[in-house]
Amino acid sequence: MATTPRLLLGALPLALRKLDPRVMWRNPVMLIVEIGALWTTVLAAGDVSAFAVLIAAWLWLTVVFANLAEAVAEGRGKAQADALRGAKKDATARRLTDWRPGADAAEEVVPAAELRRGDVVVVEAGEIVPGDGDVVEGIASVDESAITGESAPVIRESGGDRSAVTGGTKVLSDRIVVKITQRPGASFLDTMIALVEGASRQKTPNEIALNILLAAMTIIFLVAVATLQPVAIFARAGNPGVADTAALDAHGVTAIVLVSLVVCLIPTTIGALLSAIGIAGMDRLVRRNVLAMSGRAVEAAGDVDTLLLDKTGTITLGDRQAAEFVPVGATTIGELADAAQLSSLADETPEGRSIVVYAERAHGVRERRPGELAHAVWVPFTAQTRMSGVDLDGRRLRKGAASAVADWIREHGGTVAPELGGVVDGIAASGGTPLVVGEIAGGRARVLGVVHLKDVVKPGMRERFGHMRALGIRTIMVTGDNPLTAKAIADEAGVDDFLAEATPEDKLAFIRKEQEGGRLVAMTGDGTNDAPALAQADVGVAMNTGTSAAKEAGNMVDLDSDPTKLIEIVEIGKQLLITRGALTTFSIANDIAKYFAIIPALFVGLFPGLDRLNVMRLASPQSAILSAVVFNALVIVALIPLALRGVRYRPASAARLLRRNLGVYGLGGVVAPFAGIKIVDLLVQFLPGVS
């Protein structure tokens, strides 16, 4: 959004409200300016002159312009916050009592505001999801346009990593049962509103450190300016011929001049724009449908060295489907298809459901449902066993990772068919995922065969990872697949390295190892098993399609669920740091230039030799002071668009960025005051009381 005059005028009321000292104390530099403006106003009221009134007026404008920068940054998120509030409806919820999977439960209608974490609700087509939660039963098409701005509906289903639903979204088809995960008053929508309005923004460590530096510089200049009057009095005593009309005379104007000097010499430019830069950085993320839960995460994104990417759903399309059954040994294709279907009936993941459907459609296995098998004992998948299956009528079936199923068969006295390794390696080498099916029946343990799951690398991934490499970021693919499958996908996608057969503990250990080496780590994830690693990472980007546990663990949420968007997040983080550095360089150079522009003109009456340094030939000491104050205020307004838009980032080395910073903003900060003050001096020198 461009910074237009209408936008500036619209933010003016908020800027005026920020003049409250209880707000201003958070910005020490501008608080000093406000105190100086108040003091000069009192002095001007007691000794009315055009010079005093103009100085007081422009000091107040300096404070207002500083507040205006922050107000504009905050105001840019107001429209989006209003739109999000429109999505918060006073909905009711159909809460289920004593709900159990597959069983009927009584319903009661309650206000959505009364829902608590752990409550279970049912939502059908045409109804609004009453609160944030996870789908625990069913599958439905959901309209999330109120949250993401994307009109296309999305699928939300139980199991897997697409189970999370957000309060305020609308179910378009079918029926789902949702377990509420939000705390009262802390829904995802509430968090979004607070973030886009800037209400929950906290200062980042770098911002705090820079504020301390600016406060220290302010104190130094306060002390330096405070010594000017004694120096002037001493100089006047030693030079009786000095005219009484010198700027530093014995009248009340002296205090006004001193305040003006302080305001011109302390780092008011960066002090005025610092908060706006931070707010604008988070706003740029929001406009790309990314919510940063803290400014610290945005800064860390700018310094990321290592990026961990989950393979399924991130690098690949994520919807792995059964494509082939490969029997081994004496097993027939029919036996393998029947066993694969039985072991997958209670598997609610997309892969498990695809195996059931493939067995029915491709091999004619009759349709069965878990409820029909009353005596079945279902064995859920865990990250430790890496298997799932069923025990039924003396028959034990397991489906899972090749090594896990093979070890299970051997533990029960069975042997593994020699060709199994070749089949598994062949599927893995092609980039597919092999799932081995094993059986123990009649005292005999054996491997029946392999299920081939196919996955596809998303288009354009190699180019995007090449871009990350240019940014100096090392990309690591994390997957639970075996090393051969992982290597095939990694080579196709163009990542730098991979972590195969990774458990949640492996991911956590890898991140900690990288951080111990002094590197900043970013990770994207969407599953509950990603939550520990997302919490440990310096930048944890959770997908909006993911589970609630993942979104709570991360410090960013991508509403579009596009893991490759981390490239944009990193660039925005780098742009934030570069913008802050550029404007700080400009501000300090600006202050140095103003010092050499003002002091010679101001003291030429006391020290005639300084006339040689008065290169701009300013009309008078009063004109020099007023011109500097006016320029100091106007330069803040001129830099607001740059602070909000950000300095353009181009991948380059730190040394090259530093040279560019000094050459453009350092040199610009030196030249601009000389030109600006001279132009203002030409305009104000003819005003009464200034010449």
pLDDT of residue 200: 45
Question: Average pLDDT, whole number, for the chain?
Answer: 80
pLDDT of residue 1: 47
pLDDT of residue 163: 78
pLDDT of residue 408: 93
Residue 328 is encoded by which pair of tokens?
Answer: 């081994």
Residue corresponding to tokens 């081995």: 436
pLDDT of residue 453: 87
> What is the helix, strand, coil percentage profile of the chain, to 5?
55, 15, 30
* pTM of the entire predicted model: 0.65
Q: Provide the CATH number for the domain formed by 92-130+132-181 in this structure.
A: 2.70.150.10
Longest dimension (CA), the chain: 119
pLDDT in tens, 159-173: 766 777 877 788 888
Closest CA to 145 of 162, 120, 113, 170: 170
- Alpha helices, H only, 292-419: 295-302, 333-344, 350-363, 402-411
Residue 677 is encoded by which pair of tokens?
Answer: 């003050």
Q: 310 catalytic, yes or no?
A: yes
350/31: higher pLDDT: 31
- pLDDT, average across residues 78-104: 67
pLDDT of residue 245: 41
pLDDT of residue 2: 53
Close Cβ partners of 268 (under 8 Å, ≥ 6 residues apart): 29, 30, 33, 62, 66, 587, 632, 636
Q: Which of 310, 455, 481, 591 is catalytic?
A: 310
- Alpha helices, H only, 76-128: 78-87
Residue 338 is encoded by which pair of tokens?
Answer: 């029947």
The helix (run of H) or strand (run of E) holding residue 636 is: helix 621-645
pLDDT of residue 243: 47
Annotated binding site: 347, 351, 381-388, 399, 526, 530
381/585: higher pLDDT: 585
pLDDT of residue 137: 85
Match domain 307-315+458-559 to its CATH number in 3.50.50.60, 3.30.499.10, 3.40.50.2020, 3.40.50.1000. 3.40.50.1000
Residue 179: pLDDT band (50, 70, 90) is confident
Annotated binding site for ATP: 347, 351, 381-388, 399
What dihedral angle (degrees, nearest 10) is formed by the CA atoms of 640, 643, 648, 654? Answer: 140
pLDDT in tens, 194-242: 655 554 455 666 777 887 888 888 888 888 777 776 766 666 655 555 5
What dihedral angle (degrees, nearest 10) is formed by the CA atoms of 682, 688, 689, 691? Answer: 30
Annotated binding site for Mg(2+): 526, 530
pLDDT of residue 606: 66
pLDDT in tens, 597-640: 777 766 766 667 666 777 777 777 788 888 889 999 999 988 98
Among 214-218, 226-230, 510-514, 557-561, which range has the highest average pLDDT?
Answer: 510-514
pLDDT of residue 265: 84
Which class is 319-454 in CATH? Answer: alpha beta
Residue 149: pLDDT band (50, 70, 90) is low
Among 196-210, 323-337, 356-370, which range has the highest average pLDDT?
Answer: 323-337
pLDDT in tens, 406-461: 999 999 999 888 899 899 988 887 777 899 999 999 889 999 999 998 877 787 88
pLDDT of residue 448: 93
- Domain borders along the chain are 5-77+198-285+571-685, 92-130+132-181, 307-315+458-559, 319-454
pLDDT of residue 327: 93
Buried b (16+ CB within 10 A) or exposed e, 170-200: bbeebebbbbbbbeeeebbbbbbbebbbbee
pLDDT of residue 366: 85
**pLDDT of 189 above 90:** no
